[in-house]
Amino acid sequence: MQNSAVEARRAFGVLFVAVSIAVVVASFLSEIAYFITSIPLYYYAIIWLVSFGAVFGASYSRLRKAIPAILGRMKTSTKWPAGAKALNGICWAGPFAAIAAFPTLYQYLILSGIGLGNLSTYLMIKKYSGADNREQLIVAIISLAAVPAAVMIDSMLFATRQDIAVMLSRIFIGIAYAAGGMFALLAKAGPVGFDPTTSGSLQ
């Protein structure tokens, strides 16, 4: 069981690190494109899709081996009570939906969504599956802690540069997933009886 626990945790470590690299690469490329020329909005979507495609493509061999463990962890979230599913969904989707109403808070709502979503999923997993997936907790803590840090930095240094402020929030997300991913890759197996493959979903 410890072997399966290690495999599942490392699978999410690979996924989190890949997400981190893709987010950072896409953020810098988007900022470069913004400085070089005024391009249509949909070009930024292309930049993000290509960045994620390239990173995940380069990581394909490791991600392919990790897929069964990732799916195993995700599957049991379907067994959560309806109220738990709804709360988890609100924590993930709520901040992102709020961007439409508060576009000037875009960068902070992204961090809040990542932080609250991962925190909610971590707590639900621990409550209903008894698993302590600390890599997800690390992502949540760093993302939420980055909100006041981003507010302070933006107000002091980038008050007139919304593009830099947005890029900074994305870099914070990349750091959060990198930290969670590295923890998952380097952490030893949990105690006997601990099995992250039964620990819910990654949203």
For the segment 117-153, what is each residue's pLDDT rounded down to a tens digit? 999 999 998 998 888 889 999 999 999 999 999 988 8
Residues contacting 98, CB < 8 A, separation 6+: 105, 109
pLDDT at residue 197, rounded to an integer: 39
Torsion of CA 98, 103, 104, 107, to 10 degrees: 70
Say if residues 199 and 184 touch (Cβ distance below 8 Å): no
Backbone angles phi, psi at 43, to 5 degrees: -65, -35
pLDDT at residue 5, rounded to an integer: 63
pLDDT at residue 61, rounded to an integer: 82
pLDDT at residue 147, rounded to an integer: 95
pLDDT (tens digit, 0 to 9) for every residue of the chain, 203 residues total?
455 667 778 888 999 999 999 999 999 998 888 777 777 777 888 999 999 999 999 988 888 877 887 787 777 788 899 999 999 999 999 999 999 999 888 889 999 999 999 999 999 989 988 888 899 999 999 999 999 999 888 887 776 677 788 888 999 999 999 999 999 998 765 443 344 434 444 44
Residues contacting 149, CB < 8 A, separation 6+: 172
R_g of the chain computed on alpha carbons:
18
Q: What is the mean pLDDT of the chain?
A: 84
pLDDT at residue 60, rounded to an integer: 84
Q: pTM for the complete prediction?
A: 0.83
pLDDT at residue 198, rounded to an integer: 41
For residue 167, which amino acid is it? M
The continuous run of DSSP H or E covering 191 comes out as none
Distance, CA of 114 to CA of 28 (rounded, Å):
20
pLDDT at residue 10, rounded to an integer: 84
- The structural domains of the chain, with segments of one domain joined by +, span 2-191
DSSP state of 79: G
- Mapped onto helix, strand or coil, the DSSP state of residue 52 is helix
